[in-house]
Amino acid sequence: MAFSSESFAPATQMFAQVSATLVQGIMDFLDSQTSVAGVTGSSQELPDPEHFAQLQKRFLDQHQQLWNGMLLRKEDEPLVSVIEADSGDRRFASPEWRSSPIYDYVRQAYLLNSQFIRELVELFPASDGKAKDRARFLARQYIDALSPANFAATNPEFIRLALDTQGKCITDGINNLIGDFGKGRVSISDESAFEVGGNLAMTPGSVIFENELIQLIQYAPTTAKTAQRPLLIVPPCINKFYVLDLQPENSFVRYAVEQGNTVFLVSWRNPKDEQGHLNWHDYLENGPIAAINIVREICNFDQVNVLGWCVGGTILTSALAVLAARGEDRVASLTLLTTLLDYSEAGELGLFIDEESIAEREAEMGKGGLMKGGELSSAFSMLRANDLVWNYVASNYLKGRTPPAFDLLYWNSDSTNLPGPFACWYLRNLYLENALRVPEKLEMCGVKVDLGRVQAPNYVLAAREDHIVPWKAAYLGTQLLGGESRFVLGASGHIAGVINPASKNKRSFWLNTAQQGTTADNWLLDAQEHKGSWWSDWSDWLKQFSEGERGARKKPGNAKYKPIEPAPGRYVKECA
C-alpha cells in the first residue's frame, strides 16, 4: 500500500519547519552581507511566494515518490530512480549504493535535499551579487559536509570493507586519523613517495644568488645553442615553485630549457618569524626587480623575457610598473599565466574578503607576524572540498586506505607562510579595493604605478575552468597593459590548465588574435580551438623575442654571482 497523504502529514509538518528555518537562515545571512557592505536595515525579501510554493511542492512530491518506491518495491527489485548524481560525482560510483535499497534511498534522499538547498538559495533576491555568491559557497560547504559518504553508518562501502577485512580497515582508518591529527591536515598523497630535489624539482641548475627573500636559480642548458635573451620565471609566493618542475615528463622548466632558453627562476623563501615584517614593497624590490637586474648583468643583455604565474604574475607585473615609473625599460616580453590584475571578478577566494575581515587581519598581523601556510592550504582545499577534503576523509579514515602517490597533490600539501604586512597590503589594495587597475592610485616602492606604462608585448594565459582566477577576470588584464596582448584560453583548471605538457598532446586551447580589446564573451565567440598543449604556442611566440642564438653558456653565474649550491636550493625545502 502506498504511503498516504494522511500518514505523510507528520513528515510534511517537519519539512515545513525545516524549510522555515532554512529560509530564515538564508535571509539572516544575506542581511549580514548587506550590513558588511555598509547598507543599514534589512534589504532582503522573501522569495516569490508562488515560486517558493512550487519548490516546496516538487521537493515534497519527490520525497513521497521515493518513499512510496521503498514501500512498493518487490524483493530483489532496485529502488525507483527519482534523482541521480552528476556524471562527475564519484562519491556514489560504487555499486553498493544501488544494490541495497536502503543505501540507495539514503543516497537519493541526500541528493534531493541538496538540490532543494541549492534551489532555495537561488530563489532569494540579493542586491549584492557577492552576497549571493557567498550564500552559494556556504550552501555548497554544508551540502558537501553532510554527504552520507562521509559517515560510517551511512556508507555501504565502509560496511563491506569492514566485513571483508574483519575490521582491519577500521584499525587502519583510526591510525590514519591519528597520523593526520599530528600533521594538522588531511593527507591527500603518499608523502613518503616524494622528495624535493630527489624525484621532484630535478632539472639541473645552480643557485647563483640569494637574499633574505629569494634564491635565484640558473638552469643548465641542454642544447648546444640558446636564445641570446634569457628568460626569468617568477612563480607564486603562496606555494612552492616546483609545481613548474615536478618530474621530467611534466616539468615546464625543463621544457623551457629544452626549447633553447637560458632559464632563471625565483625561488621564494618560506617565511619564518624573522621574515614576518616583510611587506609588498620588499617582495617587489628583493624579488623580481633584484632578479631582473642580476639576470641582465650575468647575461650582459639590457632586456630579458619574463614569465609570472598566479600571484607571481601580479607581483612581477607590479614590479615592471615600478620600473616603468622609474624610467627603466628592462623587459622585452611578458608572459602571465592565470594571473589577476583586475580584481573585479576575483573568484571564490574573494568572496569572504571584506572590510571587517581585513581590519581584523591588520590588527592581528598588519605590522608583523605570519599568515600560516596551513590556513592558506585549508582555504584553497575548501574551494574543492569534495575532491580535496571529503574524498580523503572517506578514503583515509573510513576505508583505511593510504592515499596514492601523486606529485601534484604532494605539492598541494607543501604549504608556505606569508608575512602579515605583505598579506594585509595585498588583500586590502588588490582584492578589496581593486586599486591596481586604476592608473597611479597605488604607490609601490616610492613611485605611483600605472600598468598602462608596461609596454612589453604580453602573452596572457587563462584556464577555462579556473575557480581561483576566473578566465574572464584574467582576460581583463589585457585591457590594462600597454603592450600588444596575445590572449590564450586553456582547458581545465588553475593548475592542470598550466601543467599540460606538450609531449602528451592533451586537452585544447583557444585563440582569437583578431579581437583583442573586445569583451571576454565576444573574444570567445570567434575563438578557434586548437588540440594539444598551449606550451608549443607559447614557445613559438617567445622565439620572436630571442634576439637570435648564441653558444650555450657553459658555466652558471659570473665572476660576481658564483654558484652557491645545486638546484633546487635550500629555500624550497623549508617547511611551513
Catalytic residues: 310
CB atoms within 10 A of CB 58: 14
Is residue 467 a contact partner of residue 350, using CB atoms and an 8 Å limit? Answer: no
Mark out the alpha helices in 385-503 (DSSP H runs).
Answer: 385, 391-392, 407-413, 420-426, 471-476
Three-state SS at 256: helix
Task: Give the list of residues 6+ apart from residue 181 with CB closer than 8 angstroms, or none.
Answer: none
Task: Give the list of residues 6+ apart from residue 131 with CB closer than 8 angstroms, or none.
Answer: 29, 30, 33, 34, 37
Is residue 83 a contact partner of residue 57, using CB atoms and an 8 Å limit? Answer: no
Mark out the alpha helices in 93-128 (DSSP H runs).
Answer: 96-99, 101-123
Mark out the alpha helices in 100-223 (DSSP H runs).
Answer: 101-123, 129-145, 156-164, 168-183
CB atoms within 10 A of CB 40: 7
Task: Give the list of residues 6+ apart from residue 387 with CB closer than 8 angstroms, or none.
Answer: none
Reading phi first (left if > 0) and then psi (alpha if -120 to 50, else beta), residue 338 is in left
Distance between CA atoms of residues 411 and 200, nearest Å: 9
Distance between CA atoms of residues 299 and 294, nearest Å: 9
Q: What is the largest CA-CA distance in the chain?
A: 91
User: How far, in Å, are 147, 149, 397, 399, 467 from residue 168 at the CA level?
Assistant: 24, 19, 12, 9, 38
Distance between CA atoms of residues 495 and 387, nearest Å: 14
Is residue 141 a contact partner of residue 371, using CB atoms and an 8 Å limit? Answer: no
Comparing CA positions, the residue from 497, 499, 482, 488 lying closest to residue 540 is: 488
Read off the C-alpha cell for 576: 611551513
Looking at residue 72, the DSSP 8-state letter turns out to be H
Is beta strand 458-463 parallel, antiparallel or unpaired with respect to 331-337? parallel
Read off the C-alpha cell for 219: 638552469
CB atoms within 10 A of CB 249: 10
Task: Give the list of residues 6+ apart from residue 66 with CB closer than 8 angstroms, or none.
Answer: 79, 80, 82, 105, 108, 109, 112
Strands (E), 50-93: none
Comparing CA positions, the residue from 276, 268, 221 lying closest to residue 571 is: 268
Mark out the alpha helices in 186-260 (DSSP H runs).
Answer: 252-258
For residue 104, count CB atoms less than 10 angstroms from its CB and return exposed for 0-12, middle for 13-18, buried for 19 or more.
Answer: buried
